[in-house]
């Protein structure tokens, strides 16, 4: 999975500092977003679990080259590319500090694995050939700005380029949330998007007919990118973007809340999120690794929520609850 800043053409024909981090599948999103927020010109995620799933899904498994997995040691490797203006030792120190902060609530794995100088390979353009329009759900299509797409009457097209914050629709958790939004958002609904990233889920909710969406993220880069993407998709009038956490939002009662974050944060929201939902409102949560699904579900058992459904894609789970309205989730 590659996330590249689209406007880096001036960086051609130069050398880059390649920073490597050995992490876990659960933490790779947070690590990627952290690296881009401190200035990475591009991020590459090498996930042997995802490669294995792709090989297993081939129609003719006999032709799959399983030797490709031999180059990996089981860890998810995140590589970030910084131009030569950045001091490598200073980058290493900042990255180690941020990983240390993450480790208080997230298993970041082995962590920082070193850096090296690599030659330019025209990163700013080469990756574009791999990023094409695709369906993220039954009716929602994600397309990059440089591609043309002829939509039919039933399709909703969202223009979104890979950029500085995570969430371009390629990851399983984003796809799961998009599919749930399509199933539950109705015309005129008020939606909250907790941990909005690029704003992709806010844009989808708006395009599906939500009358207003409140989007919030703790990262200022994510807030800016969400605002830019909402403007590009002409939904700025219906999406309000905030820097902070759920409790920083105006105390509204939403019809649908979507939170594509991590299991620990989803669990942490269990005590307050009910105060932001209408009776019979829907809570959609993902970013949950499969092994922690039951732990997340259990956290909501006595908070006034009725479990509606769960779905899985790869190693990831999405959970949907309905607010029972007894007030215990507030």
Residue 315 has pLDDT above 90, yes or no: no
pLDDT in tens, 169-213: 567 888 899 999 999 999 999 999 999 988 999 999 999 999 999
pLDDT in tens, 213-272: 999 998 887 888 899 999 999 999 999 999 999 988 888 899 999 999 889 999 999 999
Q: What is the pLDDT of residue 65?
A: 41
**Which tokens hold the place of 106?**
């997230």
Residue 186 belongs to what domain range?
A: 131-323
* Residue at 312 is within a domain: yes
- Which of 22, 1, 32, 27 has its CA nearest to residue 74? 22
Residue 327 has pLDDT above 60, yes or no: no
- The last residue of one of the domains, among 71, 103, 127, is 127
Provide the CATH number for the domain around residue 226. Answer: 3.40.50.150
Q: What is the pLDDT of residue 194?
A: 96
63-72, 90-99, 117-126: range with highest mean pLDDT: 90-99
The pLDDT of 265-293, averaged and rounded, is 94
Does one domain contain both 243 and 263? yes
Residue 11 has pLDDT above 60, yes or no: no
Q: What Å distances lie between residue 254 and 207, 222, 278, 296, CA to CA?
A: 17, 22, 6, 21
Does one domain contain both 203 and 299? yes
Q: What Å distances lie between residue 19 and 22, 42, 121, CA to CA?
A: 10, 11, 16
Provide the CATH number for the domain around residue 92. Answer: 3.30.70
* Residue at 329 is within a domain: no
Residue 7 has pLDDT above 80, yes or no: no
Does one domain contain both 243 and 288? yes
Q: What Å distances lie between residue 224 and 8, 164, 289, CA to CA?
A: 18, 10, 28
Does one domain contain both 108 and 169? no
Residue that the structure tokens 């590249």 belong to: 4
Residue 6 has pLDDT above 50, yes or no: no
The pLDDT of 24-42, averaged and rounded, is 82
Q: What is the pLDDT of residue 50?
A: 60
- Burial class from Cβ neighbours inside 10 Å (0-12, 13-18, 19+) for residue 49 reads middle
Calpha distance 289→158 (Å, rounded): 27
Residue-averaged pLDDT of the chain: 81
* Residue at 297 is within a domain: yes
* Residue at 167 is within a domain: yes
pLDDT in tens, 136-148: 888 998 888 888 8
Q: Which of 62-66, 91-95, 157-161, 179-183 has the lowest mean pLDDT?
A: 62-66
Residue 93 has pLDDT above 90, yes or no: yes
Q: What is the pLDDT of residue 170?
A: 63
Q: What is the pLDDT of residue 68?
A: 41
Does one domain contain both 162 and 44? no
* Residue at 57 is within a domain: yes
Does one domain contain both 118 and 100? yes
* Residue at 310 is within a domain: yes
Does one domain contain both 114 and 139? no
Q: What is the pLDDT of residue 129?
A: 59
Rounded to 5°, angle at Cα 264 from 19 and 243: 70
Does one domain contain both 115 and 166? no
**pLDDT confidence of 53, banded at 50, 70, 90?**
low
- The last residue of one of the domains, among 110, 127, 144, is 127
Q: Give the Cβ contact number of residue 284 at 10 Å.
A: 27
């Amino acid at each position: 999975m590659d996330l590249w800043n689209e406007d880096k053409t001036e960086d051609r024909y130069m050398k880059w500092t390649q920073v490597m981090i050995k992490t876990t599948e659960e933490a790779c999103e947070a690590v990627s977003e952290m690296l881009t927020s401190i200035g990475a010109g591009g991020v590459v995620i090498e996930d042997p679990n995802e490669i294995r799933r792709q090989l297993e899904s081939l129609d003719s498994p006999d032709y799959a080259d399983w030797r490709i997995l031999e180059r990996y040691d089981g860890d998810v490797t995140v590589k970030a590319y910084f131009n030569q203006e950045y001091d490598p030792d200073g980058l290493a120190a900042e990255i180690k500090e941020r990983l240390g902060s993450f480790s208080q609530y997230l298993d970041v794995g082995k962590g920082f694995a070193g850096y090296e100088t690599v030659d330019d390979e025209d990163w700013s353009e080469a990756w574009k050939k791999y990023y094409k329009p695709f369906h993220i759900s039954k009716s929602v299509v994600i397309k990059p700005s440089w591609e043309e797409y002829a939509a039919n009457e039933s399709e909703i097209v969202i223009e979104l380029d890979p950029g500085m914050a995570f969430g371009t629709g390629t990851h399983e958790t984003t796809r799961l949330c998009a599919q749930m939004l399509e199933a539950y958002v109705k015309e005129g609904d008020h939606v909250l998007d907790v941990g909005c990233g690029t704003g992709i889920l806010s844009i989808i909710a708006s395009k599906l007919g939500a009358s207003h969406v409140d989007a919030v993220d703790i990262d200022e880069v994510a807030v800016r990118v969400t605002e830019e993407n909402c403007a590009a998709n002409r939904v700025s009038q219906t999406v309000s973007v905030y820097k902070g956490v759920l409790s920083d939002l105006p105390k509204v009662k939403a019809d649908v809340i979507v939170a594509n974050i991590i299991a620990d944060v989803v669990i942490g929201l269990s005590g307050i999120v009910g105060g932001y939902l209408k009776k019979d409102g829907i809570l959609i949560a993902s970013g949950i690794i499969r092994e922690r699904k039951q732990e997340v579900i259990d956290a909501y058992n006595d908070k006034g929520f009725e479990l509606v459904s769960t779905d899985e894609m790869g190693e990831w789970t999405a959970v949907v609850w309905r607010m029972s309205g007894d007030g215990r989730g507030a």
